[in-house]
Amino acid sequence: MRSTASIMHLDLDAFFAAVEQRDKPSLRGKPVCVGGVGARGVVATASYEARRFGARSAMPTAEARRRCPSGTAFLYPRGDAYRASSRIVMDLLRAVSPVVEQVSVDEAYVDLAAGSAIDLSPAGVRAAAEGLIAEIRDATGGLTASAGIASSKMLAKIGSELEKPAGLVVVPPGRELQLLAPLSVRVVSGIGPATEARLRSFGVETVADLQRMERADLVSIFGSAHGGSLHELARARDDREVVVEREAKSVSAEETFEHDVVDRDVLDAELVSLARRTAARLGKSAAFARTVTIKVRQHDFATSTRSETLLHPTGDAGVILDVARRLLAGVDVSNGLRLLGVGVSGLSAHAQEQLRFGELDGAHETLSLFAESDETASQEAAAEADVPVTPAGDVRRTPGPAAYADGPPTWWPGQDIAHTEHGAGWVWGSGLGRVTVRFEGPTTEPGRVRTFRADDPALCKADPPQW
Closest CA to 76 of 441, 410, 424, 434: 410
Phi and psi based region of residue 201 (left: phi greater than 0; alpha: psi -120 to 50; beta: remaining): alpha
Radius of gyration of the chain (CA): 24
Is residue 165 reached through a cis peptide bond, with omega within 30 degrees of 0 on the bond before it? yes
Burial grade of 76 (CB within 10 A; 0-12, 13-18, 19 or more): buried
Annotation says 375 is catalytic: no
Long-range contacts from 123-129, C-beta under 8 angstroms, 24+ separation: 125/5, 125/6, 125/8, 125/149, 125/170, 126/168, 126/170, 128/96, 129/8, 129/168, 129/170
The catalytically annotated residue of 20, 49, 101, 107 is 107
Closest CA to 14 of 85, 93, 112: 85
Q: Pairing relation of β-strands 100-104 and 449-453?
A: unpaired
Dihedral pair phi/psi, residue 250, rounded to 5°: -155, 160
Closest CA to 171 of 349, 3, 311, 407: 3
Rounded (5°) CA angle 88-27-37: 85
Which are the catalytic amino acids?
A: 107
